[in-house]
Structure 1
Amino acid sequence: MPSPAIPEKPWHDPLTIDLLLKVLNTTFLHPFVAWMIPLCLRAQATPYHHPAMLITAAWATLLTLLYFLSILNQRVAHGNPRAVDLSEEVIVVTGGASGLGLLIAEVYGLRGASVAVLDVREMEVGEARGVEFYKCDVGDREQVEKAAKEIEEDLGTPTILINNAAIAHGKSILDLTNDEVERTFRVNLLSHFYTIKAFLPGMIRQNRGTIVTISSALAHLGCRNLSDYTCSKSALLALHASLTAELLPAHRETIKTLLVTPGQFSTPLFAGIKTPSPFFAPILEPVDVAKEVIKAVDAGEGGVLAMPLYARWVDWMRVLPAGVQRVVRWWSGVDVAVEGFVGRRGEGVEKEKEILFEG
């Protein structure tokens, strides 16, 4: 029986606002490129007082000023980057048996770092070079403490913690059982407390570390049929801010905190979830998110990674008038996106449909 034909995508399908912005940032909005224009004009003997010369020089000066102000803003907010030597780092990735977590773990394993994956599921790839698997329900404090001791004995003191594991059930508040709500908060929120309390003391002793908290763009919005997920992810925003404030006085330069708020991933776990506009709200490839997280961790930076573009501005929704917010929610389809969710059967407490998110 022949397989069904795959519908052809329109020619403009790869075109997104994020792609356009990326092109602009490497051309028209890049200070180096901007300075090429007045230099070329001057090479053609254009007078300094010529309008074209003045306008292009002013534009290049503005972009240069904004570039250095962005660097200054990063340094004031998060301090100087810490030195990262992968040969001396021990990396812990929760929920690293598949998806985003697995990508990050594999990359660091191939690059020579010692990597420990904590997950209740077996790794999708079986074994990965440089990656040690520890079967652990991160929502169980005792299991986390046991795994932490084993990692310390096997690999050394962890210096990079990537809290990636998360679940949701895709049900209305009334359909959610109490056990499901409690499990979501254990995995999505309490696990962060368990892992931070288990690994942060070692980072303080080593005087170096990075803690990555993976939240979600939906943490700023809430969403129908994802109340457990969005509430737990919203709490992570406050946890990241509080943790950063607590580390600020004594460990500002040595222990970095990184918050990641991604949009929708293009994995089977999100099958059936609709995006309102492929142009304004493109679906993320896990590899693209992994590259940004790895880039920030390698650079020893702290701060916030929000992607795609709308995720950087979605928290401004709260300052809009209530009526405008309602119109935007209707236009975006955020409250009906989960209705067509396909999902996959979970391996957790119950055999009901359970969505597992990598962030």
Structure 2
Amino acid sequence: MSELLFQNPVERIISFIYDLLIFGLKSIFFILEAIYLSILPDRWRKEKDVSGKVVLITGGGGGVGRYLALNFAKLNSRVVIWDINSEAIKTTTDLLTSHGYSCKGYIVDISDKEQVYQSAQLLQNEIGAVNILVNNAAIVCCKPFWDLPDRVIENTYNINVISHYWTAKAFLPQMMERNDGHIVTIGSVTGLLGTYGCSDYSATKFALNGFHESLFTDLRAHGYNNVQMTLVCPYYINTGMFNGVRPRLFPMLEPDYVAERVVTAVKRNEVWCVLPNHVRTLLPLKCFLPSKMCWELMSRVIRGPDSMMLFRGRGKVPAG
């Protein structure tokens, strides 16, 4: 930026035209690449080998995390799970053992950075460097804004967003030293489109998407091209996390399907994965529709008896 300020007008114009040309050519290349990959049969897609890789899954005690652990284990990865619930950890490790796989579990409160750093060091000493980090753990309250207690809001942010800073700080430096590794961020469609009853959860997922994309840019700008980043944005998942939610536009996703798709995205080094894929068609509406029309449309779609989704529990209207 400072160099640009000292350029004369002609140099600025030339620099602008050059940047515009590069941007245009790269845009055409990536659009053609996306079209090619979209029509390429799955059996011809190149996939990396994850056997022998240390895979850490946060929130691995249940839901999608449990299926992720099983699916990576089936690929001969060395699976490690973090969870705050000791019984959930045992259930997952017993499940993998019953299938003939091994799994190491640690009780970790990922909202506590000291626990994260200490557990990360213990993991690296006992098992080795983490090759694939799957930031899967998250919580949701599912209440209108005015019914959200302060402590719930703080806890949602600490687990859904801030914890990603601690895990990335704990494991990314070794990935950068090797210029090799993979960080998976489990975001949400609610981080792309604000949703009723999710003012805490949706906002954390918006923040999470921004963190992930910015970290991706940092790594690429400094030449760490082999440290892969995958952002997964699934629709509502039938894990019990969204009890009381009855989606009407699309059915809830099953956790085994989501886990299978996440593993595939990792093997293909996909940068962005939206589940189901056709939800992407809704996203341009935010940009192309007039702002008032867009917000009015979305508010009508997600409320009332004919809404896209309906919560069984209804929030109280705040006094005044």
Instruction: Say yes or no: TM over 0.5.
Output: yes
8 Å CA contact 1:139, 1:191 repeated in 2: yes
Aligned partner of 1:292 in structure 2 is 261
Q: How does 1:21-100 map to 2 (within 5 A)?
A: 69-70=33-34, 84-100=48-64
Q: What RMSD, in angstroms, separates the aligned Cα atoms of the two structures?
A: 2.8
Aligned partner of 1:14 in structure 2 is none
State the AA in 1 paired with 2:128: G
For the residues of structure 2 that align with 1:235 and 1:173, how far apart are their CA atoms? 17
For the residues of structure 1 that align with 2:212 and 2:31, how far apart are their CA atoms? 26
State the AA in 2 paired with 1:195: T
SS at match of 2:241: helix
Q: Deviations over 1:186-235 (max 9, x none)?
A: 00000100000000011112221111111110112222321110110000
8 Å CA contact 1:82, 1:254 repeated in 2: no
Confirm whether residue 329 of structure 1 aligns to residue 293 of structure 2. Answer: no
Report the CA distance between 1:89 and its aligned residue: 1.4
Percent of paired sites with the same residue = 30
Q: Deviations over 1:264-311 (max 9, x none)?
A: 11233333211123xxx2321112211121112123x13100011443
Report the CA distance between 1:340 and its aligned residue: 1.2
Aligned partner of 2:13 in structure 1 is none
Report the CA distance between 1:73 and its aligned residue: 8.6
Aligned partner of 2:115 in structure 1 is 143
Give the direction of change, closer, same or farther, for the CA distance of 1:68–1:190 in structure 2 (3 Å limit).
same
Aligned partner of 2:276 in structure 1 is 308
For the residues of structure 2 that align with 1:182 and 1:314, how far apart are their CA atoms? 30
State the AA in 2 paired with 1:286: P
Larger radius of gyration: 1
Report the CA distance between 1:100 and its aligned residue: 0.6
Q: Deviations over 1:43-62 (max 9, x none)?
A: xxxxxxxxxxxxxxxxxxxx
Aligned partner of 1:187 in structure 2 is 159
For the residues of structure 1 that align with 2:285 and 2:206, how far apart are their CA atoms? 15
Structure 1: gaps spanning 5 or more residues:
1-64, 75-80, 343-359
Q: How does 1:242-321 map to 2 (within 5 A)?
A: 242-277=214-249, 281-299=250-268, 301-319=269-287, 320-321=289-290
SS at match of 1:268: coil
Q: Which structure exhibits the higher relative contact order, with contacts defined as CA atoms closer than 8 Å and separated by 6 or more residues?
A: 1
Aligned residues: 268
State the AA in 1 paired with 2:104: E
State the AA in 1 paired with 2:53: E
State the AA in 1 paired with 2:279: A
Report the CA distance between 1:250 and its aligned residue: 3.9
8 Å CA contact 1:282, 1:308 repeated in 2: no
